[in-house]
Amino acid sequence: MGMRTTFVVQSFEVHRKKLRPGQRDVAPTESGALKRAEAIAGRQPGSAALRVVADDETGELESVAILGMFGEVPDDFAERMQGS
The candidate with the shortest Cα–Cα distance to 48, out of 69, 27, 19, 33, is: 69
Nearest-angstrom CA–CA distance, 56 and 2: 5
Q: pTM of the predicted model, to two decimals?
A: 0.88
At 48-75, the pLDDT tens digits run: 999 999 998 998 999 999 999 999 999 8
The pLDDT confidence band at residue 46, using thresholds 50, 70 and 90, is very high
Nearest-angstrom CA–CA distance, 54 and 3: 6
Is 49 within 8 Å of 67 (Cβ atoms)? yes
Give the dihedral sign, CA 54/83/44/71.
Answer: negative
